[in-house]
Structure 1
């Protein structure tokens, strides 16, 4: 297969091109066929697992009313405060729209709008698709990125929380990540637990507020929980000795967390109870978790998720428990590359789909329509990867193109073959060539391809 066949010179952005040549927007990238192999591998791994866990796909619009995200994610979250692509209203009294920065809010909105709370309250969904965040492009962060996520509505059972974590772990195990995978868990308690904790946090942070970063100072009144996951080193140091939510948990929240941990252990996992995990979005309640792979070093986090029992009510529905996770494919691709994944043999089925299987060659100009008809018939019969010449090349040049493409077989038609009712079939591996009656050509070709 030609590794660079898709990157023709006309499409490459070379230094010799005009300075005003169009380029992809900053923070986005074009995915050419060879690069899509890895993305399709991730997608197929996700879909297979979704079928195994009996989750069904949902597709929501790429943009929503902005208020859906400000209401559900929290106005103090970085996503809402700094990272949304928003289109202002174009008519007086109209609503602004934002391209979705994540998938959970849209899924909750669809759950309510679709009448699920009354008709079918228990739903297990997954989604795959592009998300958008206006952030500074850097390694692992793009302004348009693919995200795989699952959302389960209608049950508060901690066994379900454990299943969702198990699903996320299986995804990375199936990609080839080793036993070093870790699941780090915490509980965010219920709303009443957090009211009590919020007062304690504000009392603790008040003495050091002047020495903290501007983001922490801005969040202190609106959402002091966000000070816990500040990435500024001096702020992290000032968090030492911060009051724990665990001391404010009601009996129900504690029991839920303990049952969640016990179920994870029953599933064969070894969860690490980590009170520092709070996640970055405001809608989380009780269970929160992250999957880490320590061999990656400082960038060990692979995905995160948790429970959000108040979200459906926030977007206009009845109180409905829910839990889920999200995985960004960009970061996953980088993590896989750093640990030597995927193995080459894993990608072979996807690479074969790019390879030409049968190349149809016309001897003369009068043979071009018959060879196009043969190619059409082969495709209609289910033969994959059938190609032919569209640039009026000579027979010698067509055969050279067939070899260059990696074709397994060549079907050749000339005046003699057409007059006798034959098709010339060449095995490109052995160079063996036979004239096959038209009526027998398809089964003979299929046998060759199987070999």
Structure 2
């Protein structure tokens, strides 16, 4: 017997009972971004491998160990995108939409791919919403990104469950001076470092600060601090960001070990973290990448952005029981029709109602069935009300209106008054 077909490990189906919460989350974010003046961009899932090597950095864990890379029929090396910023920068460069200093405030949504060890909150195909802003170099836009996320957490009801961590990585020059000091210090304690940190010391020493190894963390207590190596411009930028967050009343924690896992970051970096999801504590992260556009062949262009993990945030809503009651109901009204004449009239009546109430979720029974079986399906749909069309209703040109979830007797509503009645009971009620 052949092996049964299954989804690839770490690449999950999102089932019908799960999608309402996803749609609620995605819709909430999209509405918020519209209100702040951001425009959506959509990029391909597959890009040339060189794009990510050049932007993320060849000695990062993502490029070295986690990318899904393959050769196509033309012999080109292609990669399923592991993150969105590089692809977005490629798109704005290719289409010239940031030329001449044009400010672009963009957002995107979609799947990303990394070959990691699957666990709760971490998958090989995962979904992100990302923002990228180009040609604004002040701390005001950094603050706006953080303020937007703070407002989002409030709208979702999870503000008390997240914490903002901040750091500044300075310019490439100041970061270079800090890297030299860090390498000198860590080299003197080489034997106390874990194996992964010893490897990173030679390839990407700032990532040693990210270690979860307790022995290496103990060594880092007395290590040089990035704040002591910041240039005046970066220090002023960071102070400006903190002043704006203080003005709005957003609490934050300074984390000198926060470096992020991508080479292109400079100045501001931030993470929103939680202790509600076990080991996978980061739900949104980003920062400034002023040198990336130039690194990828464009003119010097300031950039800043972030990405949030949809799986983790949906899991947080479930864990904290912050699921709006209305999204669990997919149907407002269920129409039951008995006999061919009633079925035809029911279809026409349903379309008239939909014309007048386009937001009403009205399901018409399909597959005929007895009175009992249709009402069983109406109840299972979760609808608030059932509409009934039989011989008696057809003769009087009325429809039976029966509450399914609360008090109230069945009543008869004239066909031409049905939409107005439903507007009162469902759309406004």
Shared fold per TM-score greater than 0.5: yes
Q: Distance in 1 between matches of 2:82 and 2:12?
A: 17
Inter-CA distance 379–20: structure 2 relative to 1 (3 Å threshold): farther
Deviation at 1:435, TM superposition (A): 6.2
SS at match of 2:286: strand
Q: Distance in 1 between matches of 2:413 and 2:141?
A: 62
Q: Distance in 1 between matches of 2:138 and 2:6?
A: 49
Structure 2 residue aligned with 1:113: 94
Equivalent residue runs for 1:26-425 within 5 Å: 26-91=9-74, 94-118=75-99, 121-179=102-160, 181-293=162-274, 300-338=281-319, 340-342=320-322, 344=323, 347-352=324-329, 354-362=330-338, 364-382=339-357, 384-415=360-391, 417-418=393-394, 420=395, 422-425=397-400
Deviation at 1:119, TM superposition (A): 5.1
TM-score of the superposition, structure 1-length normalised? 0.85
Q: Distance in 2 between matches of 1:271 and 1:448?
A: 45
Q: Which moved more, 1:200-209 or 1:288-297?
A: 288-297
TM-score of the superposition, structure 2-length normalised? 0.89
Unaligned runs of 5+ in 1: 1-17
Q: Distance in 2 between matches of 1:444 and 1:335?
A: 38
Unaligned runs of 5+ in 2: none
Cα shift readout 1:137-180 (whole Å, capped 9, x = no counterpart): 00110111121221111011012212222222222232222456
Inter-CA distance 367–148: structure 2 relative to 1 (3 Å threshold): same
Q: Distance in 1 between matches of 2:189 and 2:180?
A: 15
Q: Which moved more, 1:278-287 or 1:425-434?
A: 425-434
- The answer to whether residue 413 in structure 2 is matched with residue 432 in structure 1 is no
Deviation at 1:361, TM superposition (A): 1.1
Inter-CA distance 380–119: structure 2 relative to 1 (3 Å threshold): farther
Deviation at 1:122, TM superposition (A): 0.9
**Number of residues of Structure 1 aligned to a counterpart in Structure 2:** 424
Inter-CA distance 422–72: structure 2 relative to 1 (3 Å threshold): same
Q: Distance in 2 between matches of 1:54 and 1:115?
A: 20
Q: Distance in 2 between matches of 1:333 and 1:309?
A: 31
Inter-CA distance 38–447: structure 2 relative to 1 (3 Å threshold): closer
Deviation at 1:440, TM superposition (A): 4.3
Q: Is the 8 A contact 2:342 2:389 kept in 1?
A: yes
Match of 2:7 among 12, 24, 32: 24
Structure 2 residue aligned with 1:7: none
Inter-CA distance 96–442: structure 2 relative to 1 (3 Å threshold): same
Q: Distance in 2 between matches of 1:42 and 1:413?
A: 37
Inter-CA distance 39–404: structure 2 relative to 1 (3 Å threshold): closer
Deviation at 1:71, TM superposition (A): 0.8
SS at match of 2:98: helix
SS at match of 2:259: coil
Query: What RMSD over aligned residues (CA atoms) do the two structures have, in Å?
Result: 2.6
Q: Distance in 2 between matches of 1:87 and 1:100?
A: 12
Deviation at 1:356, TM superposition (A): 4.3
Deviation at 1:431, TM superposition (A): 3.6
SS at match of 1:28: coil
Deviation at 1:285, TM superposition (A): 0.4
Deviation at 1:272, TM superposition (A): 2.4
Cα shift readout 1:228-259 (whole Å, capped 9, x = no counterpart): 21223332233232222233322222222222
Q: Which moved more, 1:323-332 or 1:385-394?
A: 385-394
Q: Distance in 1 between matches of 2:150 and 2:413?
A: 54
Deviation at 1:186, TM superposition (A): 1.2
